[in-house]
Every structure is written in C-alpha cells, then in structure tokens.
C-alpha cells in the first residue's frame, strides 16, 4: 500500500481488502493500522470506532455498485442482462468471497446496528433498481419479481463462494430469464 495516498484512503483500502478476504470481525483495528501504515492516533482521528470504519467501507462498496449500475444500458431488458452478467462473472473470479453486504449482515445480526442500516439502504436501492426495470417490462407485480430476481442473485453470490463457481454466470442468466418468462420476448 502506497504510504503517499491520503491516510483515510489508505485506511479504507486496507480495511476493504482485509474485511472482504478475512471477514469483518476477524480483522482487528491493529491489523488495519499496520496495513495502512499509520498510527492508532491517526486511525482513531478518522474512525472513532471500528463500526464507523465498517459503515464507511460498506458505503464505499455501495457507491461503486451504484456507479457501475449507472453505466448499464437504459433498456430495461438489456440492463438486467448486463447486471446479471456482471454479477455472475464476479462470482467466478479467484478470491471471490461472496457479497460484502450479505457477509456484513451475517456478522452484524442486530437490525438496529448502523452496519445493518447501510446494508438495508443498499438492498433497498438495489431492489428499486431491479423493480424499476421489471416494471418497465410490464411485470404484473414488479416488487415480487424484483424480490425473486434478487434472491436468485443472492443465491448465485453464495454459491459462487461456497461451491464450485463454474457455471454460476450461466445459471444466473438462465434462472433470471426463466423468472422474467413472458416479459422478455
């Protein structure tokens, strides 16, 4: 990690890598401090608690996802296919450890936690993004169909991590097409 990067960025980059590869609760603040090449005083100047750091990490993940979604085709069908292709391909890369939001929710079970609030915000945004596209395709119940597509996505993320990732992308696309059924001609 380049010691010339701004300190807050170094801390977040180190935390993102460690949280994703090893798990949030498994990584101590001391490990992040060492990886970011900073001091405890400086670390706590930017993040008063580890939970604040976890929130910032997830907000950064959400921001990147939203930026990627903004680049998807505005055509509802094409955009959904692009989203599924990206997610399926992501689940097949070396080092894939699942969805950072699902992982964080598993590590922070208290629904009142600020971490869970960020997870919920991201999930609501993702649901709205998918719901909007299936509504444009004429779904009779776009909320239910968006729920089903997101459950399929979540299953693909978990399967890509805990099982053989080969075929995840094709299975996600096939399952999505089956759910969309008559909407996609």
Give me the residue spans of the domains in the chain.
1-48, 55-180
Tens of pLDDT, residues 55-72: 999 999 999 999 999 999
Would the CA dihedral through 163, 71, 76, 185 be positive or negative? Answer: negative
Residue 175 neighbours by CB under 8 Å, 6+ apart: 152, 156
Alpha carbons 10 and 18: distance in angstroms, whole number = 12
15-53 confidence digits (pLDDT tens) = 999 999 999 999 999 999 999 999 999 999 999 999 999
- Return the structure tokens found at 63: 């921001």
d(CA 160, CA 92): 6
The span from the CA of 172 to the CA of 16, in Å, is 26
Q: Choose among 126, 135, 184, 117: nearest CA to 154.
A: 126
Q: Structure tokens of 82? A: 């692009």
DSSP three-state, residue 48 = coil
Q: What is the pLDDT of residues 91-130, one digit of tens each?
A: 778 888 989 999 999 999 999 999 999 999 999 999 999 9
Domain spanning 1-48, CATH class:
mainly alpha
Q: Please state which CATH class domain 55-180 belongs to.
A: mainly alpha
């Amino acid at each position: 990690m380049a010691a010339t990067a701004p300190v807050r960025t170094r801390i977040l980059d180190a935390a993102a890598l460690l949280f994703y590869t090893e798990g949030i609760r498994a990584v101590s603040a001391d490990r992040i401090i060492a990886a970011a090449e900073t001091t405890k005083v400086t670390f706590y100047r930017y993040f008063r608690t580890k939970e604040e750091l976890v929130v910032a990490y997830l907000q950064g993940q959400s921001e990147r996802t939203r930026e990627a979604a903004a680049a998807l085709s505005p055509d509802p069908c094409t955009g959904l296919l692009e989203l599924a292709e990206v997610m399926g391909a992501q689940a097949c890369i070396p080092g894939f450890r699942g969805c950072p939001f699902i992982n964080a929710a598993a590590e922070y079970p208290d629904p009142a936690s600020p971490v869970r609030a960020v997870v919920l915000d991201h999930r609501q945004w993702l649901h709205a993004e998918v719901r909007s596209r299936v509504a444009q395709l004429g779904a009779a119940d776009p909320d239910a169909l968006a729920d089903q597509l997101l459950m399929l996505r979540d299953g693909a993320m978990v399967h890509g991590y805990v099982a053989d990732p080969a075929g995840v992308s094709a299975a996600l696309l096939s399952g999505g097409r089956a759910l969309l059924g008559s909407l996609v001609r």
